[in-house]
């Protein structure tokens, strides 16, 4: 029982990342009808927003500190971040410590701009082209973005630690009435899951209960009619693309303490995210979220020692195996609509 709870819990954070990326992919596909292979790259750029902010915050100048001496007896040169000059030492340390959550604020405008520029500059010209062309051009774009990041930040992962408050683990078992120290779960993963749940709810609320969301949903159902009603649907879809980029970016920002950002993390997630989207059913937002969590938790169960001993190698293939089984039993994924991307 404890093992099961633990596996479900540890499946949640992987599942959250899959669900967030898949949600963004489905948003783009459902609104614009574009298969965006650059979505993994957006996730990666989000993660590097954290790194950028970290670097900006710790941008410093050299001060000669007379009170400290180095081993030669000369005054020690210390690097003082500019924000320390502005806010004082304690505040500056707190700000740097909290750079990952702060990066959310930084990433939202950045990702929105990147998303909108991408849509207006490139994707717009590909609406009428075959899906294969869309895949190819966005794949090219993903490589370009990835290489730019690599050229600037290098090929090594850059650690971006969580705030001190969230370091360490949380004894979840006690809360549920199990023995102490049986179900240990890192705080940050809990935060990540909560954040993902919040973001997903936010997107659904936005689509379901705002006028803008209503128009977008109408546009997803029948773009032409909405256009004929005098609504500038293109503009709204562009904003939705920016929003989807934002969701992917924020998923990346918050993922940095779990996995240090590196330039190929987008590609690593991309393939699984596509599997998630398709298993969920093309064009279905709840399907994407559901499939993300289902596959994340399945993967976590397959990584249990007992399961691996029983079925060696299952942890490597369980997502794909599940995808095959689901697609063979449910032709359009978990919640897919008829006739979408079936030709």
Partner 1 sequence: MFGLNAKDTRLFFIVIALVAFAPFLMNPFPTDSAMAQFNAGYPDLMQRFVIFGIFAIGFNILFGLTGYLSFGHAAFLGAGSYAAVWMLKLLTINVIPAIMISVIVAGVFALLIGFISLRRSGIYFSILTLAFAQMAFALAASVLTPITGGETGLQTALSDPRILDGARDAGGNIPAPGLWGMEMRDSAEWVVSGWQFTFNVGYYLAGLCMILAFYLSIRIFRSPFGMMLRAVKSNQQRMNYTGLNTRPYTLAAFVISGMYAGLAGGLMAAMDPLAGAERMQWTASGEVVLMTILGGAGTLIGPVLGAGFIKYFENIFSKINDNVLHQWFAFMPDGIEDFLVTIVHPFVGKGWHLTLGLMFMAVVIFLPGGLVEGGQRIARLFGRKKKAADKETDASKTPAE
Number of shown-chain residues binding partner 1 (CB under 8 A): 45
* Residue 65 near residue 165 (C-beta atoms within 8 A): no
Residue 136 makes contact with partner 1 by CB under 8 A: yes
Nearest CB to partner 1, comparing residues 201 and 316: 316
CA distance 277 to 333: 9
CA dihedral sign of residues 240, 100, 202, 322: positive
Segment lying near partner 1 (by CB under 8 A), choices 45-53, 249-257, 274-282, 296-304: 274-282
CA distance 84 to 89: 5
- Report the residue from 64, 91, 205, 321 that binds partner 1 according to the rule CB under 8 A: 321
Nearest CB to partner 1, comparing residues 3 and 321: 321
Taking the complex as a whole, the smallest distance from the CB of residue 312 to partner 1 amounts, in Å, to: 5
User: DSSP strand E in the chain: where?
Assistant: 60-69, 75-81, 169-171, 184-186
* Residue 267 near residue 141 (C-beta atoms within 8 A): no
- Report the residue from 63, 95, 143, 239 that binds partner 1 according to the rule CB under 8 A: 143
CA distance 3 to 49: 36
CA distance 89 to 87: 7
Residue 317 makes contact with partner 1 by CB under 8 A: yes
- Report the residue from 141, 162, 288, 298 that binds partner 1 according to the rule CB under 8 A: 141
CA distances from 294 to 13, 26, 298, 300 (A): 12, 17, 6, 10
Nearest CB to partner 1, comparing residues 230 and 313: 313
CA dihedral sign of residues 247, 250, 251, 252: positive
Q: Find the helix or strand (DSSP H, E) in which 328 lies.
A: helix 314-329
- Report the residue from 183, 278, 288, 294 that binds partner 1 according to the rule CB under 8 A: 278
- Report the residue from 76, 113, 148, 229 that binds partner 1 according to the rule CB under 8 A: 148
Taking the complex as a whole, the smallest distance from the CB of residue 240 to partner 1 amounts, in Å, to: 21
Residue 331 makes contact with partner 1 by CB under 8 A: yes
341 token code pair = 């991307």
- Report the residue from 151, 198, 205, 221 that binds partner 1 according to the rule CB under 8 A: 151
- Report the residue from 111, 265, 275, 288 that binds partner 1 according to the rule CB under 8 A: 275
Taking the complex as a whole, the smallest distance from the CB of residue 260 to partner 1 amounts, in Å, to: 21
CA distances from 79 to 61, 62, 91 (A): 6, 5, 17
User: x/- contact string, 284-313, with partner 1 (CB under 8 A)?
Assistant: ----------------------------xx
Distance spanning both ends of the chain, measured CA to CA: 45
Segment lying near partner 1 (by CB under 8 A), choices 55-63, 216-224, 225-233, 335-343: 335-343
Q: Find the helix or strand (DSSP H, E) in which 246 lies.
A: helix 233-255
Taking the complex as a whole, the smallest distance from the CB of residue 51 to partner 1 amounts, in Å, to: 19
Residue with tokens 């959310």: 104
Span 188-217, contacts to partner 1 by CB under 8 A: none
* Residue 36 near residue 245 (C-beta atoms within 8 A): no
Note the residues at the interface with partner 1 (CB under 8 A). 35, 122, 125, 129, 131-133, 135-137, 139-144, 146-148, 150-151, 267, 271, 274-275, 278-279, 282, 312-313, 316-317, 319-321, 323-324, 327-328, 331-333, 341-343
């Amino acid at each position: 029982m404890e093992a099961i709870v633990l596996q479900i819990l540890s499946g949640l954070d992987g599942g959250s990342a899959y669900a967030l990326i898949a949600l963004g992919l489905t948003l783009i596909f459902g609104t614009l009808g574009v298969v965006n292979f650059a979505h993994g790259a957006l996730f990666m750029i989000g993660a590097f927003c954290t790194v950028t902010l970290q670097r900006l915050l710790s941008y410093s100048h050299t001060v000669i500190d007379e009170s400290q001496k180095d081993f030669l007896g000369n005054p020690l040169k210390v690097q003082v971040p500019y924000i320390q000059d502005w806010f004082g030492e304690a505040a500056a340390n707190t700000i740097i410590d909290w750079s990952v959550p702060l990066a959310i604020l930084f990433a939202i405008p950045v990702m929105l701009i990147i998303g909108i520029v991408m849509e207006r500059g490139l994707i717009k010209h590909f609406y009428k082209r075959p899906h294969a062309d869309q895949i190819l051009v966005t794949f090219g774009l993903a490589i370009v973005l990835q290489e730019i990041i690599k050229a600037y930040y290098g090929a090594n992962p850059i650690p971006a630690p969580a705030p001190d408050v969230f370091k360490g683990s949380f004894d979840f078992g006690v809360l549920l009435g199990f023995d102490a120290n049986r179900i240990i779960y890192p705080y940050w993963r809990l935060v990540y899951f909560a954040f993902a749940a919040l973001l997903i709810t936010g997107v659904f609320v936005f689509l379901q209960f705002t006028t803008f969301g209503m128009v977008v949903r109408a546009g997803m159902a029948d773009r032409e009619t909405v256009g004929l009603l005098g609504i500038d649907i293109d503009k709204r879809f562009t904003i939705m693309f920016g929003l989807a980029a934002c969701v992917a970016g924020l998923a990346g920002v918050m993922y940095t303490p779990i996995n240090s950002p590196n330039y190929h993390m987008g590609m690593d997630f991309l393939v699984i995210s596509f599997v998630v989207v398709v298993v969920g059913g093309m064009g279905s937002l709840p399907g994407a979220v559901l499939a993300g969590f289902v596959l994340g938790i399945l993967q976590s169960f397959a990584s249990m020692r007992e399961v691996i001993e029983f079925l060696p190698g299952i942890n490597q293939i369980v997502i794909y195996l599940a995808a095959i089984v689901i697609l063979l039993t449910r032709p359009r994924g978990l919640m897919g609509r008829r006739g979408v991307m079936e030709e």
